[in-house]
Structures are given as C-alpha cells and as structure tokens.
Amino acid sequence: MNFEFSESFALQMDAQDPLASFRSRFHFPKVDGKEAVYFCGNSLGLQPKSVKDHLEKELNNWADLAVDGHFHGEDAWYHVRKKSKPALAEIVGAHEHEVVAMNNLSVNLHLLMVSFYRPTKERYKIIVEAGAFPSDQYMLETQIKFHGLDPADTLVELAPRAGEHTLRTEDILAEIRKQGDKLAMVNMAGLQYYSGQLFDIKAIAAAAHSVGALAGFDLAHAAGNALLKLHDWDVDFATWCSYKYLNSGPGNISGIFVHERYAERSDLPRFAGWWGHDEGERFRMEKGFVPMFGADGWQLSNTDVLGLAAHQASLDIFQESGIENLRAKSEKLTAYLEFIIREISGESGVLEIITPNNPAERGCQLSLLIHRGGKSVFDEWYHQGVVGDWRNPNVIRLAPTPLYNSFLDVFRFAKILEQSLKKFA
Ligand SMILES: Cc1ncc(COP(=O)(O)O)c(C=O)c1O
Ligand SMILES: Nc1ccccc1C(=O)C[C@H](N)C(=O)O
C-alpha cells in the first residue's frame, strides 16, 4: 500500500473506511483539556456509549425483580452466561461450548493449570517466553511450587537471539523438540504484551502435541485483536481478559477456552464450585460434583451479571463490525502508523520499532524502544494528548485500535512526533 504523510491522505483513508462510523459509538477521554489520541486499547479499551443502557437494564431488573431476576423471563440471570457465547466463540475461533466468560485472567490461568498441568517425574517442564507479563510469571512460579517442584529447573524461558527483540518461530519449535519427553506444556502469551509479537499459535500447539505435551495460551493481548482459530489450531486451553480490546471496563470479566476434546472429561482434576455443576441439579443441595459439558464445567461462582452486561455492550459491537473486517482495517491502520514513524523518525536514532513488521506476526500494537530521552519522550507525547503507555525498562506501546481509531488519529500523532523529535534527536 502507498501511504502518504499528509492530512488529506489520512482523511481520504477514513472516508474509505467501512468501519469509520463505529468511532462515534465510544467515549473518548481528554488529556489536559484536549481530545486524546487514544492508542491504549491494549491496556484499557474505551467505553462503548451503549454500556450505560446495558447496565441500566440490569439495574432496573434488580430494582424491580430483586431475587426473582435470577429466573424471570428470557433474560433470567441464571442463564446469563449463554448470551456472550456466540460473540466470544467468533472472536477466538471456537465452538460455543468451548468458551465461557468467568472470573479474571490470573484466576482462570490458575484454574486451568489445576486441570492441565499434571507434572510427573519425567514430564514436568513448561516452556514460556522470557519476560512474560508479571502475573503470568507469578502464576507459573507458584503453580510449580504447588507441585513441590523447583521453578529454576522446571521453567524453560525462551529469549530472543542476541541482538534481536522477538522470538523466531523456528527457535520456539526447536526448543519444544529439544525438551521432548520432559515437556509437560507450553504456556505462553498468544501476543506478547511488551514486544507486540504475535506467536504462531497453530505451529506451537502442533509441535507441543507432537512431543506429547499440551499447549495453553494467555490471550490477554490477542483476543479481539488478532484473528484466532483456537479450535482448528487444536489449542488445549486459553484465557483472556475483556477490558483491553474487548472494551468491557476496568477489571471486568475474563473468558476461557477449553478444547472440546475435554468437554466430557469429568476425570480431569479441577477446583470446582456450584456454577460448574450440572445446571439442572444445582439446587438439589447434594454431594458429588458433576461438571457441566464443555468450558462451562470450569465455572465456580455465579456469574457477575453487571460485569457481563457491560461486556455484552461491546460484544454486540464486535458482532456488528465483524472480527475479520476489524482485522483488515487493523493491518492498514498499524501499517500506516509504522510508515509514519519510519518516515518521521528515520535516522534520528531516538526510537526503534521492535514489533515485527510482518502483519502475520503482530496485532495492532507497535512497541517502540526508546534509545534517547527515556520516559521524558513518553511524557512529552502525553502532554500533547497522546495516550499510549510506558513499559519498563524502555518501551512505549502504541495500539491504534480498529474499532475506534482513525487514520486521522495516526496523522495527529505524526505531527506530535515530528515536533518532539526536534527536542530529542
Ligand atoms: C498478559 C497478561 N497477563 C495477565 C494480566 C493480568 O490480568 P488480570 O488482572 O485480569 O488477572 C494482564 C493484564 O492485566 C496481561 O496483559
Ligand atoms: N489492568 C490494569 C490495571 C492497572 C494498570 C494496568 C492494567 C493492565 O491491564 C495492564 C496490561 N495488562 C498491560 O499489558 O500492561
């Protein structure tokens, strides 16, 4: 694609964008009184204006029906989990019975590890990318200790080759083959939060299976961002959060995927609760846990109805816009941001894009390694209205999000970048 660094070009791209009207469905924050260039959907997605109505409806149900709301009418809270399934299944590429919204991400990682990490004396190693998000590192460390094992001996952390910033698929697959019979599971990000690298989930799952290991993924940065085909790729399990690209609000509900081959595996160990127990039998008040079919059998607690209501507002928008259309726009929008950065920062040496330039190996996020100026570069941009984020030790992440960002946003950022480079170059 031939891009141009001009306002008229950006406006023309927006005019041709079939998804452009979705922008008006979101609330945009202000920074120092200026409308922000919001490139932080990878941390917290913007609020859909429709969230208020969805919440109000449930607040009214609560006010008018109180406890009867659990079983009243079509929207009975007892069955509320079913509503989000069609959209979630589309977003992660799964059957509806393979997904369910529940808990939060780190909690779900632990629960899924209980079922799927079953180390033996011979087969106990876990492959993870080096520098995984801290919560994932703590999860792995404590799961390993829970089994009486030593993290130093159990975790195999894959780092990029010297002088490189991202992992090569061939190196990941080679390590899987090398660990072979010792490997219990690959448990890594689908899309790495720091580098923005999208891993080849299909190839990694296939390689893990070929040595008799399982493959689980943290899709916090992939869900609603990359095109996923979890069922077809034969992934064993996955979990994600909904407050980033899925725009469901701070700290809101997570989701899980469990491949259908485990749908009836009542023999798998799990930490159970009544919401995972057979729905028709739940109120018998009897002993003996019988898991529901599929991912539902991993639920513990009754569903957070208000959280799901906010989640649903955004899931409805995803169904309307279509994840494939979003991805098509996303590739162009991120490529435009990349073009702009290269065009303007050029040889200045202030920053370096470390996210792969191949669209198949990234989502919408670009991670910029800051070589000069450190965090003051980020602060400067912020005061000019750019909301990205700074991640220690020295990366600025920018995520133009196809649902609500425009090519004009990228152009506005370009002008700010141009000015700031005069200071830092
Ligand atoms: C990759 C990754 N893992 C885990 C988390 C933590 O999620 P939660 O606080 O929902 O458990 C986040 C973000 O917050 C994340 O980006
Ligand atoms: N939930 C949060 C609460 C406070 C501050 C950040 C977060 C994030 O989600 C960070 C995100 N996981 C990240 O990739 O940096």
Instruction: Please determine, for residue 425, whether its predicted confidence score (pLDDT) is greater than 80.
Output: no
Q: How far is the C-alpha of 112 from the C-alpha of 228, rounded, in Å?
A: 19
Q: How confident is the model at residue 75 (pLDDT cuts 50, 70, 90)?
A: confident
140-144, 154-158, 380-384: the lowest-pLDDT one:
380-384
| Interval between CA 346 and ligand 1 midpoint (Å) | 34
If asked whether residues 271 and 288 sit together in one domain, one would say yes
| Interval between CA 396 and ligand 2 midpoint (Å) | 14
The pLDDT assigned to 346 comes to: 84
72-86, 128-142, 167-181: the lowest-pLDDT one:
72-86
If asked whether residues 231 and 261 sit together in one domain, one would say yes
Q: Quote the number of domains for the chain.
A: 2
If asked whether residues 254 and 275 sit together in one domain, one would say yes
Count of alpha carbons within 13 angstroms of residue 163, beta-carbon side: 0
4-20 pLDDT per residue, tens? 999 999 999 999 999 99
If asked whether residues 267 and 413 sit together in one domain, one would say no
Residue nearest to atom 15 of ligand 2 (CA): 43
Is residue 274 marked as binding? yes
Instruction: Please determine, for residue 254, whether its predicted confidence score (pLDDT) is greater than 90.
Output: yes
Q: How far is the C-alpha of 367 from the C-alpha of 275, rounded, in Å?
A: 40
Mean of the per-residue pLDDT values of the chain? 96
Q: Is the CB of 193 under 6 A from ligand 2?
A: yes
Contact 183/124 with Cβ under 8 angstroms?
Answer: no
The CATH number linked to 103 is 3.40.640.10
| Interval between CA 109 and ligand 1 midpoint (Å) | 10
Residues with CB under 6 A from ligand 1: 104-106, 133, 135-136, 189, 193, 218, 220-221, 241, 254
| Interval between CA 190 and ligand 1 midpoint (Å) | 13
Residue of 40, 42, 44 to mutate, ligand 2, most atoms within 8 A of C-beta: 44
Q: How far apart are the first and last CA of the chain?
A: 29
Contact 306/55 with Cβ under 8 angstroms?
Answer: yes
Residue of 103, 105, 391 to mutate, ligand 1, most atoms within 8 A of C-beta: 105
> Ligand nearest 389 Cα, by number?
2
Instruction: Please determine, for residue 32, whether its predicted confidence score (pLDDT) is greater than 90.
Output: no
User: How many residues does the structure list for the chain?
Assistant: 425
Contacts of 174 (CB under 8 A, 6+ apart): none
Contact 115/269 with Cβ under 8 angstroms?
Answer: yes
164-200 pLDDT per residue, tens? 999 999 999 999 999 999 999 999 999 999 999 999 9
| Interval between CA 30 and ligand 2 midpoint (Å) | 20
Q: How far is the C-alpha of 253 from the C-alpha of 348, rounded, in Å?
A: 43
If asked whether residues 108 and 199 sit together in one domain, one would say yes
Q: How confident is the model at residue 73 (pLDDT cuts 50, 70, 90)?
A: confident
Q: How far is the C-alpha of 365 from the C-alpha of 196, rounded, in Å?
A: 6
Q: How confident is the model at residue 330 (pLDDT cuts 50, 70, 90)?
A: very high
Domain ends where: 320, 347, 364? 320
Q: Does a structural domain hold residue 178? A: yes
If asked whether residues 336 and 316 sit together in one domain, one would say no
The CATH number linked to 350 is 3.90.1150.10
If asked whether residues 314 and 332 sit together in one domain, one would say no
Sign of CA dihedral 200, 203, 205, 208: negative
| Interval between CA 192 and ligand 2 midpoint (Å) | 13
User: How many degrees, rounded to 5, is the angle at CA 146 between CA 143 and CA 151?
Assistant: 60
Q: Does a structural domain hold residue 1? A: no
Residue nearest to atom 12 of ligand 2 (CA): 43
Q: Does a structural domain hold residue 48? A: no
Q: How far is the C-alpha of 124 from the C-alpha of 187, rounded, in Å?
A: 12
Is residue 221 marked as binding? yes
Instruction: Determine how β-strand 366-370 pairs with β-strand 125-129.
Output: unpaired
Residue nearest to atom 13 of ligand 2 (CA): 43
pLDDT more than 70, % of the chain: 100
Domain interval for residue 125: 55-320
Is residue 262 marked as binding? no
Which tokens sit at 46? 């913007």
| Interval between CA 105 and ligand 1 midpoint (Å) | 6
If asked whether residues 312 and 200 sit together in one domain, one would say yes
The pLDDT assigned to 349 comes to: 85
Q: What are phi and psi of 220, to 5 degrees?
A: -50, -45
Q: How far is the C-alpha of 205 from the C-alpha of 238, rounded, in Å?
A: 12
344-382 pLDDT per residue, tens? 998 788 899 999 999 999 999 999 999 999 899 999 999
If asked whether residues 190 and 64 sit together in one domain, one would say yes
Q: Spell 359-387 as b/e; 16+ CB within 10 A means b.
A: eebbbbbbbbbbeebeeebbebbbebbbb
Q: How far is the C-alpha of 47 from the C-alpha of 249, rounded, in Å?
A: 7
The pLDDT assigned to 362 comes to: 98
If asked whether residues 227 and 120 sit together in one domain, one would say yes
Q: What are phi and psi of 276, to 5 degrees?
A: -95, -5
| Interval between CA 41 and ligand 2 midpoint (Å) | 10
Domain ends where: 266, 298, 320? 320
The pLDDT assigned to 424 comes to: 80
Q: Is the CB of 43 under 6 A from ligand 2?
A: yes
Instruction: Please determine, for residue 263, whether its predicted confidence score (pLDDT) is greater than 90.
Output: yes
If asked whether residues 210 and 340 sit together in one domain, one would say no
Is residue 21 marked as binding? no
> Ligand nearest 44 Cα, by number?
2
Among 406, 414, 413, 415, smallest CA distance to 15 is for: 406
Contact 410/333 with Cβ under 8 angstroms?
Answer: yes
Q: Which residues on neighbouring strands pair with residue 100, listed in sequence order?
A: 256
> Ligand nearest 111 Cα, by number?
1
Domain ends where: 289, 305, 320? 320
Instruction: Please determine, for residue 229, whether its predicted confidence score (pLDDT) is greater than 80.
Output: yes
Contacts of 352 (CB under 8 A, 6+ apart): 368, 369, 371
Residues 37-61 have a mean pLDDT of 98
The pLDDT assigned to 126 comes to: 98
Q: Does a structural domain hold residue 71? A: yes
If asked whether residues 24 and 140 sit together in one domain, one would say no
Q: How far is the C-alpha of 146 from the C-alpha of 163, rounded, in Å?
A: 36
Residue nearest to atom 9 of ligand 2 (CA): 43
